[in-house]
Structure 1
């Protein structure tokens, strides 16, 4: 009789152990799936050309890890438990395009925000005002007039050259169109919804021009403002927008005016700091929208 009872208790104990193992395995599997899901979230990519445009933002991230690829530096971390990558791209269109392509292939971002300083083209705007890039445009790609020796040069007659118009030589009329990349509506919505938090100036939508040039000629600036509709100029945004468009990733350019030659606004690089604070608010809002 005792032997029978012992056998029954042994069977019951074995069944209990098996059930606990199964339940434990299910819990571990569920937990593992949750962790995997967290790790596979596509990050938001924030870009800035210079150290002054990324260092303050990188300090706001949690669990920061620095990675490098060539001359490009990436800071991986989180905001509100959501993955964020900050890229220090270096100045200029070539650096911006290359860094963005590397970041896309490496991190597969859900969205891209380019941010930093810019020069003003609109006399109504002042130093510390922020421009949300409803559009970005290349102001550094031109085809000159056909002139012979000693016939001079006339930059105002130069025609825009759209390098994405065709795979040909660029001689077609289509290549003379001005190409604009539109800012993503979701990112624009998030940016507009938190603009009241920015207290250093106004936040407006506009057209941001990009090119490997720093314009100080007021008549030249006015020409871009009138012909291209530019609100501000910088050296990276269009190249990054082009890469984002190639990979079908939402993109927005956000720029703070560090100077404005059209109304005497003197250069102040320190405007980069409050711009990063504002962009942080934009990212928080976008993350909350994504989580809904």
Structure 2
């Protein structure tokens, strides 16, 4: 490859399938049980991989993308649960900060979140989370200024069809599927998250160690409450495409 490729991760088949024919596969390499597809996404050299769910899988494939394929930027496209009540199903969030909400210390049945890699007994660092490149985020939103996503159906949108919003903010990562309004509200109030998922902050942690940029794009498949399991399954196909469309729009900037 004359230019370093992009590394694009999805967690599940429902997310990766939205790149479809826009990805021109040239080769495939199987490493550590993961299938890495080499080719071009909308004309841009890209290595595409389905990681499976969870932080460990995400960290493994991110490391392999950087070590084996020398990717210049690591991307993620997929779905998440909404945390901010102002957001709705189908809205897309580009992560400005990624926080691992499940790393820390539990005292009196309460978890205090710490920065991963540090002993969580005293506050070893004031830093919490991994910040995306602010200039890159600004550049991305300049490109998205006039971009509109397809209308979300009335069923998915809770009764009235609507145009999804695209925003940026904090995305929370942990190895649990959040199907509890109390837990969702706690995460929002304590950590300021807009959405919660299971891979992004692990990707960001690895990318920071390798000093390469990362871009995490998530569309909301549910609102992380008691109905989230049913909503996730019902609206996954419709909502996962939003993140893929946004990523395809910005890919040439990356």
What's 1:224 paired with? 187
TM-score by length of 1: 0.74
- The number of aligned residues is 235
Residues 130-209 of structure 1: pairs in structure 2 closer than 5 A: 130-145=92-107, 154=109, 157-165=110-118, 169-174=119-124, 179-192=128-141, 193-194=143-144, 196-200=146-150, 201-209=164-172
Match of 1:276 among 220, 224, 244: 244
RMSD: 2.1
Contact 2:79 2:221 in 1 (8 A): yes
Cα offset, 1:213, TM superposition: 0.3
Q: Does 1:252 align with 2:215?
A: yes
Contact 2:105 2:120 in 1 (8 A): no
Q: Does 1:210 align with 2:173?
A: yes
Give secondary structure in 2 for the equivalent of 1:90: coil
Cα offset, 1:162, TM superposition: 2.3
Q: Over residues 190-231 of structure 1, what are the superposed CA-to-partner deviations in whole Å (9 max), with x where a residue is unaligned?
A: 431225323231001111000000111111111110110000
Which protein shows a greater Rg?
1
- Distance change in 2, residues 1:178/1:58 (3 Å): farther
Distance 1:264 1:178 in 2: 34
What's 2:66 paired with? 104
What's 2:206 paired with? 243
Distance 1:195 1:273 in 2: 19
Give secondary structure in 2 for the equivalent of 1:123: coil
Decide which structure has greater strand share.
2
Contact 1:190 1:282 in 2 (8 A): no
What's 2:157 paired with? none
Contact 1:72 1:90 in 2 (8 A): no
Cα offset, 1:64, TM superposition: 3.2
Distance 1:263 1:195 in 2: 34
TM-score by length of 2: 0.85
Cα offset, 1:40, TM superposition: 2.9
Q: 1 or 2 for the larger relative contact order (CA 8 Å, sep ≥6)?
A: 2
Cα offset, 1:80, TM superposition: 5.2
What's 1:86 paired with? 48
Q: Over residues 252-288 of structure 1, what are the superposed CA-to-partner deviations in whole Å (9 max), with x where a residue is unaligned?
A: 111000001469773310111232122111103x15x
Decide which structure has greater helix share.
1
Distance 2:135 2:17 in 1: 26
In structure 1, the gaps of 5 or more residues are 1-38, 146-152, 288-292
